[in-house]
């Protein structure tokens, strides 16, 4: 049976191994990077990566640099998202945001540094497995967070702040800003676990559904949760005048669609070759997540 607490502990142990030492003239940047990454968080993306890898029968250390790298990229996106020029948030993961503790300039640099360090970290995997397989995984890690993925979605989200989005635009934002990184996590797990091309495409679609369900739930929690439960400010979408799944479709439909997208993903996971019971448990847990 899937044990979330145990998986988070295991994942944090792996991530910690790849974080930089806080030394040298530039040690402030290392402190800021480590502060941002060590600040808790659900570790969802590296856990999804690991469970997909294991589900296809993957073993060995090659997955570890990629697990650390995806969490670094995710953390960089949060550090930048919290900056005054973007959401201007002072709390994240239950404590002060990186730019509040280290200053605005260092907040920008820490985000940049985490993105670059993610690639430096993932490079270590080239010594651990077949070159072609690692190259394919690396390519996914490079592309999905980019302008055709996470950053692309964020551009529309930022540009349309205060302007109503239509359904297609909101779908684009969800697929790119949120689902792309979840797609990267699960596809890298699949590639390194030796999934076939067709299986990789299936995993991409499954991850997209999980990502969309995740973002709908994020929109719901922003309305119904509390700052202490989420560890970050609530009602930030309203404050930033954002179109969300809840404003566009209403709360009831939003709740129902979290279940529908998640169940679609679960039904598709059941058709994959391998043993994906833990992945299914994880997706089921995410349907009712409170933070
Ligand atoms: C380059 C200036 C600049 C900004 C880009 C892409 C980007 C920064 C920001 C997007 C970040 C964002 C808010 C994505 C939405 C996905 C989402 C709901 C993230 C929160 O993920 P959780 O809940 O966080 O997994 P934890 O803290 O648990 O890891």
Task: Give the pLDDT of residue 161.
Answer: 87
Angle at 25 between CA 19 and CA 28, to 5 degrees: 50
Cβ-Cβ contacts under 8 Å for 252 (sequence gap 6 or more): none
**CA gap 241, 244 in Å, rounded:** 9
Cβ-Cβ contacts under 8 Å for 267 (sequence gap 6 or more): none
Task: Give the pLDDT of residue 144.
Answer: 98
Does any ligand 1 atom lie closer than 6 A to the CB of residue 178? yes
Q: Answer for the pair 115, 80: CB distance below 8 angstroms, yes or no.
A: no
**CA gap 228, 239 in Å, rounded:** 18
Q: How far is the CA of 74 from the centre of ligand 1 (A)?
A: 6
Q: How far is the CA of 288 from the centre of ligand 1 (A)?
A: 20
CB neighbours (10 Å) of residue 158?
A: 15
Q: How many CA atoms lie within 13 A of 232 on its CB side?
A: 23
Closest approach atom of ligand 1 to CA 42: 28
Task: Give the pLDDT of residue 40.
Answer: 86
Closest approach atom of ligand 1 to CA 151: 6
Residue nearest to atom 24 of ligand 1 (CA): 41
Task: Give the pLDDT of residue 1.
Answer: 80
**CA gap 237, 89 in Å, rounded:** 12
**CA gap 74, 51 in Å, rounded:** 18
Does any ligand 1 atom lie closer than 6 A to the CB of residue 41? yes
Q: Answer for the pair 273, 252: CB distance below 8 angstroms, yes or no.
A: no
Task: Give the pLDDT of residue 70.
Answer: 98
Q: Answer for the pair 76, 118: CB distance below 8 angstroms, yes or no.
A: yes
**CA gap 278, 288 in Å, rounded:** 16
**CA gap 18, 36 in Å, rounded:** 14
CB neighbours (10 Å) of residue 246?
A: 20
- Cα–Cα distance list, 258 to 148, 201, 217, 230 (Å): 24, 22, 6, 18
Q: What is the pTM for the complete model shown?
A: 0.97
**CA gap 223, 237 in Å, rounded:** 8
Q: Answer for the pair 7, 50: CB distance below 8 angstroms, yes or no.
A: yes
Task: Give the pLDDT of residue 240.
Answer: 86
Closest approach atom of ligand 1 to CA 154: 6
Select from 154, 156, 159, 216 the residue to mutate for testing ligand 1; criterion: most ligand atoms less than 8 Å from CB.
154
Q: Could you report the average pLDDT of every consecutive run of 10 residues in the chain (291 residues)?
A: 94 98 98 96 97 98 98 98 95 96 98 98 98 98 98 96 94 98 98 98 98 98 95 90 95 98 98 98 94 92
**CA gap 112, 93 in Å, rounded:** 20
Select from 7, 38, 71, 78 the residue to mutate for testing ligand 1; criterion: most ligand atoms less than 8 Å from CB.
78
- Return the DSSP state at 42: -
Cβ-Cβ contacts under 8 Å for 139 (sequence gap 6 or more): none
């Amino acid at each position: 049976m899937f044990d979330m607490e145990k998986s988070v502990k295991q994942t944090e142990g792996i991530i910690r191994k790849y974080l930089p030492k806080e030394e040298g003239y530039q040690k402030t940047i290392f402190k800021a990077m480590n502060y941002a990454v060590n600040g808790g968080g659900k570790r969802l993306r590296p856990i999804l990566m690991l469970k997909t890898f294991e589900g296809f029968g993957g073993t060995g250390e090659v997955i570890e640099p990629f697990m650390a790298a995806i969490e670094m990229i995710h953390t960089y996106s949060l550090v930048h998202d919290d900056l005054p020029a973007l959401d201007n948030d002072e709390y994240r993961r239950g404590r002060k945001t990186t730019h509040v503790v280290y200053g605005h300039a260092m907040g920008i640099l820490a985000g940049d540094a985490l993105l670059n360090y993610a690639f430096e970290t993932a490079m270590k995997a080239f010594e651990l497995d077949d070159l072609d397989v690692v190259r394919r995984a690396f390519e996914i890690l490079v592309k999905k967070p980019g302008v055709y993925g996470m950053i692309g979605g964020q551009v529309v989200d930022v540009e349309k702040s205060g302007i109503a989005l239509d359904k297609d635009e909101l779908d684009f934002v969800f697929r790119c800003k949120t689902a792309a990184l979840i797609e990267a996590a699960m596809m890298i797990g699949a590639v390194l676990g030796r999934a076939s091309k067709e299986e990789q495409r299936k995993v991409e679609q499954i991850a997209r559904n999980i990502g969309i369900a995740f973002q709908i739930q994020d929109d719901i929690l922003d309305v119904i949760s509390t700052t202490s439960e989420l560890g970050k400010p609530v009602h930030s979408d309203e404050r930033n005048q954002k179109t969300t799944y809840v404003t566009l479709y209403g709360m009831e439909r939003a709740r129902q669609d979290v279940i529908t997208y998640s169940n679609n993903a679960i039904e598709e996971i059941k058709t994959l070759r391998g043993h994906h019971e833990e992945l299914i448990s994880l997706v089921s847990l995410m349907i009712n997540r409170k933070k």
